[in-house]
Amino acid sequence: MAESLVLTVIADDKTGIVEQVSKVVAQHGGNWLESRMAHMAGKFAGIVLISVDAAQSADLITALSALSSQGIQVTAESGAVSDDSQC
């Protein structure tokens, strides 16, 4: 069963942040569904909606947290895919 996760990502703005996060998501069988990204005051900020098999969710969150050693802070929250017509 798939689980939705909403990720928040913040790091010093530099090349390769999206690539590093997406690589970890892909390595855990996740699907990048939607994202919003911005550059503000020298920082990269992003919000990402992903879908991942529930059995892989905990391992994915752990791997994303490990990106902090590279200066990329990722927070993951469980979410639900909503019907856009209700927004």
**For the segment 39-49, what is each residue's pLDDT rounded down to a tens digit?**
999 999 999 99
Q: Is 87 part of a structural domain of the chain?
A: no
Measured CA to CA, the distance from residue 23 to residue 60 in angstroms comes to 11
Q: Is 26 part of a structural domain of the chain?
A: yes
| Tokens representing residue 14 in the block | 């530099």
Q: φ, ψ for residue 52 (rounded to 5)?
A: -145, 150
Q: Is 85 part of a structural domain of the chain?
A: no
Q: Is 19 part of a structural domain of the chain?
A: yes
What CATH number is given to the structural domain containing 68?
Answer: 3.30.70.260
Is it the case that residue 82 has pLDDT exceeding 60?
A: no
Tally of domains within the chain: 1
pLDDT in tens, 59-69: 999 999 999 99
Measured CA to CA, the distance from residue 48 to residue 38 in angstroms comes to 12
Q: Is 17 part of a structural domain of the chain?
A: yes
Domain of residue 64: give its range.
2-79
Query: What is the DSSP track for 28-70?
Result: TT-EEEEEEEEEETTEEEEEEEEEEEHHHHHHHHHHHHGGGGG
